[in-house]
Structure 1
Amino acid sequence: MSTPSKPIARQASRSSSIARSPFSSSYLSSSPIAQASLARDLAEYSEDEIETAENGEDDSSDDESSEASTVKPGERNHSMASSYRRPSFVAFGGTRPAIAPHPHEATYLSKKERKQSRAEERSLLRDNNLAPPKHGQPAKRGALGQLYKRVFGTRRPVEEGDAENPPMDPSFTAEPSETSLLLPNGVPESHRNQKERLNKQWEEAVASGLIKTTWQREAKTIFGYAGPLTITFLLQYSLTVASIFTVGRLGTIELGAVSLASMTANITGYAIYQGLATSLDTLCAQAYGSGRKQLVGLQLQRMVWFLWCLTIPIGIFWLSAEKVLEYIVPEKRSAELAGLYLRVLLAGAPGYSCFEAGKRFVQAQGLFSATTYVLLIGAPLNAFMNWLFVWHFGWGFIGAPIAVAITDNLLPLLLFLYVYFVDGHQCWNGFTRKAFRNWGPMVRLAIPGLLMVEAEFLAFEILTLASSYFSTTHLAAQSVLATITGITFQIPFPISIAASTRVANLIGATLTDAAKTSAKVAFVIASLVGLLNVVLLSAARNYIPQLFTNDKEVVHLVATVLPICAAFQLFDALAANANGLLRGLGRQEIGGYVNLFCYYVIAMPISFGTAFGWGWELEGLWSGVALALGLVAGIEAWFLARTNWQDAVEAAKSRNNAG
């Protein structure tokens, strides 16, 4: 009995330290299903395998673990994640989320995130005049310098009310310099003591209510979070847009067929892969957080084999999709081309599913930039291959799915090269037969994600199917409209993710006023982005369609409907931002229910009633969506306005203590 107790004790010690850092995320829950799966996987490893895996790990986290060991039972457990900690949302940016998966959050921070946490705390202390500035201040500032500092400076001015607050211990109100980093006996202060001093300084400032924020700081933070995500989403969405741009020049039927094929692929394939892979957001994260890095690679292998098994029935359907679509779509030629597209696309399905699982593998390790680097290579290559195959080689319509299939298989290869040569290989312990066992917990965690992502895709893809009943021109126009609104959505959606992250972190740090300020800034930014999209689509409604097709009827129809799409851009941005703030408050279920009700109970009946009953056709289809988005934005904004933010802080404390 005494022999196996060593690794178990080591695991308990490591697990107790995984979440320790002073600036807290409000999400420190864990999944019992994932914990049971982790325990079962560990039981299948021999003691020698466990010892080998642990000896192979780097000891970079030892310092952090020693810091964590100072946390007393019941003490507030703070941690700040500077990067977005919901990997599932990074998985897809091409659709407008109706109901987004909300997996359990990981109970750990990576080494990089812990470092960013401390940097964030130091910066807040400086901005609140509780620590000396990082850089020396110039004796005099010019007029432009003073104006820049007043408009964009993040430091809070010293107010009269600040003097009423109780002073802090002088030993903790200044950061050490090159000359002050000495203890009384002349020994340099240790790295651990520095962190303990910062933790104590931060705790005192929070307890005294001295930590405030400014709109300038929150705006910079939100833009900093949203920038990389916007690039990632636009790159991933460009994989679909490239085919529509290229094929749109071939003709109206081809343009409509691409839209029809993409809709079918999304509903019957891509949504399944993405939904099921969301279970790795929990399984890989908890395996990594437990310190058992070899289990992260095991979870990846298990999911890849599972998705490849599901590719068999998906492939059977795609091979026979032409016959199925002929019964649904009035235009037989569109169904024929869509079936051809899907048959070729099937060659890329294994690679696509592998990439979806691989993204979770690297994101669980905090390597969120890995997929961005991969897409920076894959997206331009995809666009180039579309042009090369369709136009330069003269392959025509079939060249587009060939380019997509090659890209789908290229992305996991590029991700593998990143892991092998750059970072992430620490969690790969080789292929193992254990990947073919213990699938039950993975499937149970995957089913909810599958249902939610399917609902998300269906809400808008149904409109594409409905447009085919009007004419081929309407189907082509719907393809263009869906693509345009998809592109514009890639800006407010990352902002909503940034707002979610920032508000969750501030609430977890018990900074209620700062969280409110950040939420207000996020709403202003979302409003500006929405208005910008409104002006852009309205002003260029006669020119944007010409980028997709030369067909005058399609261009005219898109230009006619585009003002409706432009009108709801503001609602779209506000609804996305409200969803993000609800996630930050830990009330994501509210957004899910509101979206479900507005899209399926209100939008769909109105869209079909006005489109088919009143004869508004495409204008009717999009009118229902516009109304639904307005209702979503209004209902969620009303809920946020009535929310007791202090209750959210107390709930975050409970989750942190439970974690």
Structure 2
Amino acid sequence: MAIFNDATDSQDPYETVDETTALLSPRSKAPSATWRPSREALRPMAREALVLLKTSIPIIASYILQNSIQTISIIIVGRSRPKDLSVAAFAYMFSTCSGWLIGMGGSTALDTLASAAYTGGGDKHHAGVLLQRCFIVLTMLYLPVCVIWVFSGRLFILLGQDADFSWESAKFLTYLIPGGFGYIYFESLKKYLQVQGLIRPATYVMLVVSPLSGLLNYIFINNSKLGLLGAPLATGLSYWISFGLLVLYTSYISGHECWGGWNKACLNHLGAFTRIALLGIIQLGTEFWAFEIVALVAGSLGKLPLAGQSVLMTADGVLVTIPFGIGVATSVRVGGFLGAKDLESARRSAHTSFVLTATISIFVCLLLILTRNHFAKIFTSESEVIRYVALVMPWIGLFQITDALNGSSGGALRGMGKQHIGAAANLTSYYIIALPLGSWLAFRGWELSGLWIGQCIGMGIVASAQLVFVLATDWKLEIERALERISEDDNTAPPV
């Protein structure tokens, strides 16, 4: 599927698009001084919404299937070993907020650098060098996380969790460490393909691996002596299989054109790449970490709020893929248009993304509210937990709307290389306003509902701040900055 098209031509740019279609038309548009919504703007915006939706659907499907590996594992644990449900859900959530975050947040550096380099640079192998650099940097960032996981039992106890629960969670995470490398490499290779317009390969891979992971979890948990610890081993093996299949696709089907072999240039500019990767990690991590704190507070409220939070966070981990997927598509399109010096298309893509995510999230919110009395039955048969989740569900629905606006605006910022704005907005709103307010409400009788009210407020502030920055963007200046990043990262070293 093509990522970029000239949306203002009279010729329909979206007909007969596939994964071999050129990413950009050879012409660039002259920049205009201002952008004003008008009838003339509606048609190209509608076309942009269509291509964003077409681009994001396989991305969303890929992330849903990818997250389903953990979701399926949690469901199997909950059905086979109900007493271990909280351990599995908590450990997987902690892994998402730490190890998986390295892959998801760190690889967004490729959204900023590789998308612009692919469309605006002269060397087609530049994207391959950036992928190699991504492997190196993210591996080094993941190693300290491995150490934290091994000794996380004492950390959880210090944070007020039950001792047995803490040690079981730490052991679970330790068994999950090898799988983290597979997850990170899969995320990096997926981004490398996405900037080339190859969106569907990751989805194809996950269509195979997702049901396979369910089989592996069932065998490892129920038909071996591993018990609960079979879950992280099955999950880790699933991520390595995902990476291996994506390597085979890239090597023998499509995507290898930008590889060019291992290149010593991947060792250059490691500091600059690390800075952008860290900002991406912080931008996503401040939100993820806030949810981890919410889980810790929920654990201190009692077993019922903790069980309810386990269900809600597992569900939200699937739902968040919708705005995140559209945000990824927005990042790649905005970054690519900036590299191609196409001011109007970059701006239009960012603005259209806001409308698209808001519309979809309203439908998701209504669906959650209408199904609130039955939703938790997917994860547990305990009637008390089902009723408790139903009480909190309206706030989860409202959260989807604010999270959607955050996903689209954050995606536009990543495409511009402005991860620091999202990171600053998250740090300020969550840790100064949302978490203190949510915790105060939780211990004043609101319990889990209070925590999620705080999250709604925090996400609303983040989305509003990011929207203001994107709407006030000087797009001509951002084109100049994108071209500067390409020129500063000129790769001249010969292949190894």
Q: TM > 0.5 between the two? A: yes
Q: How does 1:212-611 map to 2 (within 5 A)?
A: 213-214=42-43, 216-250=46-80, 253-280=83-110, 297=128, 300-301=131-132, 303-305=134-136, 307-308=138-139, 312-391=143-222, 396-428=227-259, 439-498=270-329, 509=342, 511=344, 522-580=353-411, 591-611=422-442
Q: 1:259·1:479 contact (CA, 8 Å) conserved in 2?
A: yes
**More moved, 594-603 vs 392-401:** 392-401
Q: 1:226·1:497 contact (CA, 8 Å) conserved in 2?
A: yes
Q: Quick one: distance in 2 between partners of 1:499 and 1:605?
A: 32
Deviations 1:276-296 (A, max 9, x none): 444455666687675556665
Q: Quick one: distance in 2 between partners of 1:599 and 1:618?
A: 16
**More moved, 210-219 vs 616-625:** 210-219
Alignment partner, residue 53 of structure 1 = none
Q: 1:497·1:580 contact (CA, 8 Å) conserved in 2?
A: yes
For residue 376 of structure 1, report the CA deviation from its aligned partner: 2.4
Q: Quick one: distance in 2 between partners of 1:515 and 1:309?
A: 35
**Aligned pair in 2 of structure 1 residues 422, 237: CA closer, same or farther (>3 Å)?**
same
For residue 231 of structure 1, report the CA deviation from its aligned partner: 1.3
Q: Quick one: distance in 2 between partners of 1:311 and 1:411?
A: 19
Alignment partner, residue 492 of structure 2 = none
For residue 220 of structure 1, report the CA deviation from its aligned partner: 2.6
Q: 1:574·1:633 contact (CA, 8 Å) conserved in 2?
A: yes
**What secondary structure does 1:491 align onto?**
helix
Give TM-score scaled by structure 1 length: 0.60
For residue 342 of structure 1, report the CA deviation from its aligned partner: 1.1
**What secondary structure does 2:436 align onto?**
helix
For residue 274 of structure 1, report the CA deviation from its aligned partner: 4.1
**Aligned pair in 2 of structure 1 residues 266, 534: CA closer, same or farther (>3 Å)?**
closer
Alignment partner, residue 491 of structure 2 = none
Residue type at the aligned position of 1:227: I
For residue 273 of structure 1, report the CA deviation from its aligned partner: 4.3
Q: 1:124·1:213 contact (CA, 8 Å) conserved in 2?
A: no
**Aligned pair in 2 of structure 1 residues 199, 526: CA closer, same or farther (>3 Å)?**
closer
Q: Quick one: distance in 1 between partners of 2:423 and 2:441?
A: 26
Residue type at the aligned position of 2:187: E
Q: Quick one: distance in 2 between partners of 1:405 and 1:312?
A: 16
Q: Quick one: distance in 2 between partners of 1:372 and 1:585?
A: 26
Q: Quick one: distance in 2 between partners of 1:502 and 1:362?
A: 13
**What secondary structure does 1:124 align onto?**
coil
For residue 652 of structure 1, report the CA deviation from its aligned partner: 5.5
Alignment partner, residue 125 of structure 1 = 10
**More moved, 341-350 vs 579-588:** 579-588
Q: 1:296·1:427 contact (CA, 8 Å) conserved in 2?
A: yes
Deviations 1:155-211 (A, max 9, x none): xxxxxxxxxxxxxxxxxxxxxxxxxxxxxxxxxxxxxxxx99x959x87999xx997
For residue 368 of structure 1, report the CA deviation from its aligned partner: 3.4
Q: 2:160·2:300 contact (CA, 8 Å) conserved in 1?
A: yes
For residue 463 of structure 1, report the CA deviation from its aligned partner: 1.0
Residue type at the aligned position of 1:529: I
For residue 558 of structure 1, report the CA deviation from its aligned partner: 1.3
Deviations 1:444-474 (A, max 9, x none): 5544334434324212221112211122332
**Aligned pair in 2 of structure 1 residues 403, 231: CA closer, same or farther (>3 Å)?**
same
**What secondary structure does 2:179 align onto?**
helix
Q: 1:495·1:577 contact (CA, 8 Å) conserved in 2?
A: yes
Q: Quick one: distance in 1 between partners of 2:103 and 2:387?
A: 37
**Aligned pair in 2 of structure 1 residues 127, 299: CA closer, same or farther (>3 Å)?**
closer
Q: Quick one: distance in 1 between partners of 2:327 and 2:264?
A: 41
Q: 2:283·2:419 contact (CA, 8 Å) conserved in 1?
A: no
5+ residue gaps, structure 2, are: 17-23, 487-496
Residue type at the aligned position of 1:239: I
Q: Quick one: distance in 2 between partners of 1:273 and 1:637?
A: 25
Q: Quick one: distance in 1 between partners of 2:383 and 2:39?
A: 63
Residue type at the aligned position of 1:480: V
Q: 1:604·1:624 contact (CA, 8 Å) conserved in 2?
A: yes
Deviations 1:462-491 (A, max 9, x none): 111221112233222111111222322322
Larger radius of gyration: 1
Q: 2:114·2:192 contact (CA, 8 Å) conserved in 1?
A: yes
For residue 406 of structure 1, report the CA deviation from its aligned partner: 0.7
Alignment partner, residue 624 of structure 1 = 454
Identity among equivalent positions (%) equals 32
**More moved, 471-480 vs 486-495:** 486-495
CA RMSD of aligned residues (A): 4.3
Q: Quick one: distance in 1 between partners of 2:463 and 2:105?
A: 25
For residue 314 of structure 1, report the CA deviation from its aligned partner: 3.5
**Aligned pair in 2 of structure 1 residues 651, 320: CA closer, same or farther (>3 Å)?**
closer
Q: Quick one: distance in 2 between partners of 1:531 and 1:589?
A: 28
**Aligned pair in 2 of structure 1 residues 405, 540: CA closer, same or farther (>3 Å)?**
same
Residue type at the aligned position of 1:465: L
Number of residue pairs the alignment of both structures matches: 469
For residue 378 of structure 1, report the CA deviation from its aligned partner: 2.0
Give TM-score scaled by structure 2 length: 0.78
Residue type at the aligned position of 2:303: T
5+ residue gaps, structure 1, are: 1-80, 84-112, 129-133, 136-194
**Aligned pair in 2 of structure 1 residues 627, 330: CA closer, same or farther (>3 Å)?**
same
Residue type at the aligned position of 1:350: F
Q: 1:252·1:472 contact (CA, 8 Å) conserved in 2?
A: no
Q: Quick one: distance in 2 between partners of 1:583 and 1:277?
A: 11
Q: 2:116·2:482 contact (CA, 8 Å) conserved in 1?
A: no
Q: Quick one: distance in 2 between partners of 1:365 and 1:211?
A: 30
Deviations 1:380-420 (A, max 9, x none): 22233223433466854223212101112212211221122
Q: 1:256·1:472 contact (CA, 8 Å) conserved in 2?
A: no
Residue type at the aligned position of 2:96: N
Q: Quick one: distance in 1 between partners of 2:86 and 2:53?
A: 36
Q: Quick one: distance in 1 between partners of 2:416 and 2:315?
A: 31
Q: Quick one: distance in 1 between partners of 2:336 and 2:143?
A: 42
Alignment partner, residue 489 of structure 2 = none
**Aligned pair in 2 of structure 1 residues 433, 565: CA closer, same or farther (>3 Å)?**
closer
**Aligned pair in 2 of structure 1 residues 324, 564: CA closer, same or farther (>3 Å)?**
same
Q: Quick one: distance in 1 between partners of 2:133 and 2:350?
A: 40
The structure with more helix, counted as a fraction of residues? 2
